[in-house]
Structure 1
Amino acid sequence: MKDTNRNQKPKRHVAAYMDSFTINYIHPRSPWINAWWSAAFPGLGHLMLCKYLVGYILMFWEVCINHLSGINTAIFYSLTGDIDLAAAALDKKWFLMYIGVYVFAIWDSYTRTAQLNRRYQLASREGYEVIITNISALELNVLLKRHPLSGFIWSLIVPGIGHLYINRLVTASVFIFGFITITYFSNFLPALHYSLELNMEAAKSVLNVQWFLYYPSLYVFAAYDAYVNTVEYNKIYKREQANYFRSEYQDREFDYPI
């Protein structure tokens, strides 16, 4: 029998890749949504594109320069109407360094999203195969259908747990470690404790707003990203199943529309 696998050309455009720690993939996205997430917190738009190294570099930059320039503290005082305190809290030497990278993160995430959308169209025309199981000495990753709401809810309870649910282990580790760090340095839990006791003055006195204002963007993004990735994983699962049935059970003479 002729071995047809040897005559198959390797696909030029790959849309999905699985290893033991995650599934990297390309799927259609709105460039404006990615740009918005980059504006909310530089690096998040790149994480959505599975550009992990670029995303983590930009996130590290955001935390370091934001902290040194006091941007979050200045934002807090601006929102409360204390403009003089906001101006005093802002270190202009570091702030001017911050602007260029901030604009780059927004521009780059928008541009990369548009480029990857075109790559996805090319990959979809060729079709793509996914190995549904990847086993290594450290981890097992299996492509399964999962519930998007489960990833969303777990991320709301503990940011990063939703990514553990879908086996995005590197992202989960970064989010869990990041939120532990932010929670500790912001004194969020003591402030929450005083708030539940209706002791608002004590809550305000212990809360470190510079660290606390990292919370909103990252917290919402963790839940959103876990939900979106679960939905897209389910689509990859369905496509893999369709490709398998097409190759194993469909009449070879049938001209399947692409």
Structure 2
Amino acid sequence: MIGRNAPGRVVALSPHFDDALMSVGGLLAALDAPVTVVTVHGGVPPDGTASEWDRLCGFASGAEAARARALEDRRACGVIGADPVHLAYPDGIYGAPSSLDALTEVIERLVTEDALVLVPAAVCRHADHHRTRDAALAALAGLDADVWLYADQPYAGRSRHWGGPGAESLADDVWRDRMAPAVTRFGLAEARTVRLTARDWAVKHRAVLAYASQLVPLATYAGHFLAFEGPLNTELVWRVGARPVAARPVREERTEAR
């Protein structure tokens, strides 16, 4: 298990609907504390807009997709006994990205000193994941919260090194550039690879199945990600160091499809 001490509560920050549960759903289900899953880009975009991903999932508009996916997220969180919170920022693919300053202020209000906080490591090139991570680390720098980065799925599972021995070193190897803003400022004090038991996998699997609108397109993107021995059976987290150093400029990432 992770954590310095028994947490008073757990807050998992998810850039979009499904990111947190696909990445650390087994861990969240096993933690003995109240869990809140915060979808940062959980807002409804203007009617009439639709991304290529929305269309692949069978939606005629981004608004329709957001409403349906919010319902899916509530069902998925119900499976693991978590409380879902959806912030009002739409997915960055629809237009102007969420402001780092605004995200930082919101996250500061969501987290308390006794919390264990799970933050996306942003191992992908999706700008929303990078904004979520960087805003969270800025917000949490002054708190004595227990902060862990998690390897984002389904992106992490596409690495040929995923799930094998020494996967913790992916932060220094395959994903070095993408994780640099976090590693440079804070360092990674500890790494844990969690391989789910059959019982924990069954719970996570039920939760992931609740994101039904995403599963067929994801299968074409990420292969057999729902298989019991597939990439979702492994969860990788790194504990963030406590003392940040001077911030360096953060290079904006392009948005990666899915």
- Larger radius of gyration, structure 1 or 2? 1
Structure showing the higher helix proportion among its residues: 1
Q: TM-score, normalised by structure 1?
A: 0.26
